[in-house]
Amino acid sequence: MREIGQIYESCSSERNKKDLQFDFSSLRSLAAEMMISGFPLELMDGDAAHVPVIWISAVLDQLIQKLGNQRVFVLSVLGLQSSGKSTMLNAMFGLQFAVSAGRCTRGAFMQLVRVSDEMKTQMNIDYVLVVDTEGLRALELAGRSTRDQDNELATFVIGLGNLTLVNIFGENPSEMQDILQIVVQAFMRMKEKENQITEAVKKASEEVDENSGDVDLWLKIFTLKLSAVLIFSEKDLEGVSCDVDVKLLAEPSAQTQQKIMIHNLTVFLSIDLKD
């Protein structure tokens, strides 16, 4: 499927699409049908640490067209190499992610799981999008660049999921603690966007007050304002390194608590938008 995605992105970048000898748009429809049938789709290329955004976006758009406006809950898993992440997901959801000793899963894969009618009413969701990830701190890829790639993967996976399962294996979880601290710091160091997010909440609240406190209207207004704020570049993450301020994580200030509150609000919003 990786090669199919590369073909799709190559064809989509072609200016004169009439010169193509086949309808490449059928590729995204095929991938969407495979996901509906229970096949996993590669979300991140583990060899190049690359996310094919054009391909993934096209497949997800096709899923929305085929399934309609369904409520989706994204569940991701994070852990060290050979800690049993894929095995745990297979046992929980009856999936068939590849399982073996050593570096088995490479990158990240996502699989769509349909929720039973009985559980839909209890959980208020229609599908669970399960994201299985590569094990961190792989012995085969020891080195400084690998540690940076692990930190980037952990940040990506945690930011992607509505809920992230952190699989701790063994009696010494120090490696995972280092990674999680770096991830948390990366989110907290986006200082330039903090005031803008707060202002978006304030403006949305003011406009809703003028319209009799309509919660749905508040969510709609806040979403529009937030979409323009959360577009960030590499400059927002400058200075993020392995040197973590533990005191900042242990004793959050009032400003930090406000960040956490806003983050929880955006998580709730992301779930609500999929309803």
User: Is this model's pTM higher than 0.85 or not?
Assistant: no
User: Are residues 207 and 223 located together in one domain of the fold?
Assistant: yes
Which domain range does residue 158 map to? 70-172
Instruction: Give the chain's length.
Output: 275
The answer to whether residue 35 sits within a structural domain is yes
Beta strands in the chain (DSSP E): 41-45, 72-79, 107-114, 127-133, 163-167
DSSP code string of 112-138: EEEPPHHHHHHH--SEEEEEEEPPBS-
- Note whether 63 and 88 are same-domain residues: no
**Are residues 90 and 157 located together in one domain of the fold?**
yes
What lies within 8 Å, CB to CB, of 78 at 6+ separation is 85, 133, 136, 154, 157, 158, 164, 165, 166, 167, 176, 179
Q: Are 77 and 85 in contact (CB under 8 A)?
A: yes
Q: Along the 275 residues of the chain, how does pLDDT read in single tens digits?
A: 788 888 888 887 776 767 777 677 888 899 999 989 888 898 888 777 788 888 999 999 999 999 988 899 999 888 777 777 788 888 888 887 777 665 566 778 888 999 888 888 888 899 999 998 887 776 665 665 567 777 778 878 887 888 888 877 655 566 667 767 766 666 665 555 566 666 666 766 666 665 555 656 666 666 666 555 555 444 554 554 444 333 333 333 444 444 444 444 444 444 444 44
- With b for 16 or more beta-carbon neighbours within 10 A and e for fewer, the 176-202 pattern comes to bebbbbbbbbbebebeebbeebeebbe
Q: In the chain, count H helices and then E strands.
A: 11, 5
Q: Which of 48, 68, 88 is the last residue of a domain?
A: 68
Tell whether 31 and 87 lie within a shared domain: no
CATH assignment of the domain containing 103: 3.40.50.300
Provide the number of structural domains found in the chain: 3
Regarding whether 168 and 197 lie in a shared domain, the answer is: no
